């Protein structure tokens, strides 16, 4: 249970992060991490569309770069987008300036505005940043947080759920809402069967739950078996599906 539904003491590590929404409202918030990729995301989109459900996709910036058409499908279907770093990196293993630069790089790809600000160049069909500009930007992130008032999706979820204290503080100062989870299905786990993942949904979903699935290679086989049944079960239980709505 400490994994599927984080204990209170874990939630205290990042007290201003969002772990659960309003517990008085019978609603859940579906999220999908690590995409977009062609092997998983289109299936997720088709399944959500079949049930008229909207979700939030926490995307890896490099996957957006590699699969822009799939990313546009996610956006075009009316789903929300969050930042999951550019390379799906764990904050505890990276220096803060590098982690924050990686996060900013992902947000640039997500928001497209970077094509016009002179910081990125096209190289063989790939957007790359000049190393000196990247180093300068990393320093500015640490010492003088950038405003993201011009960004369309100021949501962030750290890969693996961990950040250094400085990373957490600076990302919050930049204006991002840090979204964690109330229920992680563990669809990525090779130790769990599809039935066990489905049981996690039924056992731990509750009012205000932020439910985390993954549109990834490690999860797709289980998702093909349990995503539709999970949606049907949540609908039968009377849950409404919502997107995050914050006054920033």
- In this prediction, residues 10-21 reach a mean pLDDT of 92
- In this prediction, residues 12-29 reach a mean pLDDT of 95
- Check whether 224 has a pLDDT greater than 50: yes
Report domain extents, the chain.
8-241
CATH superfamily of 8-241: Glycoside hydrolase/deacetylase (3.20.20.370)
- Using one digit for the tens of pLDDT, what is the confidence trace for 145-162? 333 333 344 899 999 999
Residue closest to 171 by CA, chosen among 153, 148, 194, 187:
148
What is the distance between the alpha carbons of residues 234 and 122, in angstroms, rounded to a whole number? 44
Burial 154-170 (b: 16+ CB within 10 A, else e): bbbbbbebebbeebbeb
pTM: 0.84
- Using one digit for the tens of pLDDT, what is the confidence trace for 68-119? 999 999 999 999 999 999 999 999 999 999 999 999 999 999 986 333 333 4
Both tokens of 105, joined, read 């790089």
- Check whether 140 has a pLDDT greater than 50: no
DSSP characters over 12-46:
TTSTTSB-B--TTS-EEEEEEES---TTTHHHHHH
- Using one digit for the tens of pLDDT, what is the confidence trace for 227-238? 999 999 999 999
């Amino acid at each position: 249970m400490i994994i599927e539904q984080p204990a209170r003491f874990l939630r205290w590590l990042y007290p201003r992060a969002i772990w659960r929404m309003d517990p008085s409202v019978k609603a859940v918030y579906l999220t999908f991490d690590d995409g977009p990729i062609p092997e998983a995301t289109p299936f997720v989109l088709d399944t959500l569309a079949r049930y008229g459900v909207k979700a939030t996709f926490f995307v890896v910036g490099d996957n957006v770069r590699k699969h822009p058409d799939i990313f546009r499908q996610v956006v075009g279907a009316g789903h929300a987008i969050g930042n999951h770093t550019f390379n799906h990196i764990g904050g505890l293993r990276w220096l803060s300036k590098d982690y924050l630069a990686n996060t900013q790089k992902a947000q640039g790809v997500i928001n497209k505005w970077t094509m016009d600000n002179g910081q990125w160049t096209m190289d063989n069909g790939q957007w790359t940043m000049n190393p000196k500009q990247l180093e300068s930007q990393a320093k500015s992130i640490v010492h003088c947080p950038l405003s993201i008032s011009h960004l369309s999706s100021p949501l962030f979820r750290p890969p693996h759920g961990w950040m250094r204290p400085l990373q957490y503080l600076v990302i919050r100062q930049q204006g991002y809402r840090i979204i964690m989870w109330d229920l992680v299905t563990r669809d990525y786990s090779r130790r769990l069967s599809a039935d066990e993942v489905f049981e996690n949904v039924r056992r731990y979903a509750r009012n205000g739950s932020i439910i985390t699935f993954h549109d990834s290679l490690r999860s797709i086989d289980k998702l093909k078996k349990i995503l539709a049944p999970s949606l049907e079960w949540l609908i039968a239980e009377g849950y409404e599906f919502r997107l995050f709505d914050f006054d920033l």
